[in-house]
Structure 1
Amino acid sequence: MRPLELLLTVTASAVAGFADDGWLQQAFDSPHFDTTTPRNVTALQGKTAHLHCKVKRLNNKTVSWIRSRDLHILTAGTDTYTNDARFQVARDAARNDWTLMIKFAQPTDSGLYECQISSQPLISYPVRLRVVVPESRVLGGSDMYINRGSLLNLTCLVTNSPEPPEYIFWYHGGQVISYDSPRGGVNVVTEKGEVTTSHLLIRRAGPADSGVYSCSPSNAQVASIIVHVLKGETPAAMHTSGGGAELPPPAAAAALMLVLLWQFGT
């Protein structure tokens, strides 16, 4: 008998033996997880976190969700075993999916959760949750100085967000900025992505454009900056010459020192 024929014969005999013992059928019918289900989930603070667990051939076994840090049983089957009403389980029979839902998710909910099947021995599927808090900031420090008649360019960044904000509103002195106001010359450019950027552009800035400007994303805290539109009364060392950001303290100090040296040296 040729080697290949011998190998096929031995393999067929082994499979037949397992089938006779019921081992192969039992292994095929045992509950198991769909390992393509995401093991890492990121959710926004205040939103609902969804942790999926897809189980195949569950038969008469039970699916439970366990919080690993304190081994607390959160759900078993479709029943909930916690006083925290934010935790619920939803079963999608068509997809064999047992989804743990955490409403109004908070950073303290972050951590490892386990989906367990009540087989002998127990088998589990770990899912790690990370609840993030989006952050926003306006570039330029706490104050920005620009010359009268120049372009006011404010930039707001939204970071640490798994999904872009639905919208970003700009405010001036507590009032929403109207882009089609009679003043004219106001424009907003927003670029959504892993870091969302919103630019507020105001042409020919005047004294009336001074004040507090705030960037308010739909999913993050408000960020503000105070804009000072100058009429030439402030030394150049205290502000930028156009619509740029405020000079950092070391640069401002160095510029002032050069001015003093020039004055005393003449």
Structure 2
Amino acid sequence: MMYAPNPEMSVDFVRNGRITNNTLIIKRVKPSHSGTYECQISSANIYTYHVNLEVLNTRRYIEPSITLDGTLYPSPNQKLNLTCNSTGHDRSPDKIDWFHNGNLITENKPQWRNRAVIVNYVPEVPGVSLISQLTIDKVRTSDAGIYICRSMTPSEGITVKTTSVIVNVLNAEKDIKKREDGHTQDTSHKLSRQDTNKTVRLSSCFYLTLLGLLFQIVK
């Protein structure tokens, strides 16, 4: 909580298990907001942390960028999650489109109906990014391929940025067969070594017997 209410400021509170995140949000920040801010936690002891904030008179340049990550090796019937984060120069992009092997992904297409969900949102901080999450339920082998995230940002014209990832749907049956084949090969190898050792022992016995007979003849 804040010591005194301020219409320009608010605290965003998020609990994740035993971890809590408290974010101080300052709307329409200006140079007069510069200064030292104190975060204080009251428990058996009092812990404090100070942050020095300097608000520039001119807007800092932000290089537009786009990133894409998520589940790259799902198994059949699992859930596929991909997250695209696109940052604009002075504002968030207008839209983000998803493509699979060059085809636009829409939730109402037969291939994706009742399986694909696209959620877009703009984080309040820093406010120049657009995040899009693609979720595909009950993954099929046909869902493997190249996934492209494309963002469009208005500026003097239209700025388009794209990035892509390759998703491989694992085949559990093939993986099991490979492991079984590998186990069979290892066993055969062990048997081959055992046969070799047995042959060496028989050969040694034969030569010892021959030497004994020669020794009897000479004697």
Interval containing the TM-score (normalised by the shorter chain)? 0.3 to 0.5
Larger % of helix: which?
2
What TM-score do you get using the length of structure 1 for normalisation?
Answer: 0.37
What TM-score do you get using the length of structure 2 for normalisation?
Answer: 0.44
Q: Whose radius of gyration is greater, 1 or 2?
A: 2
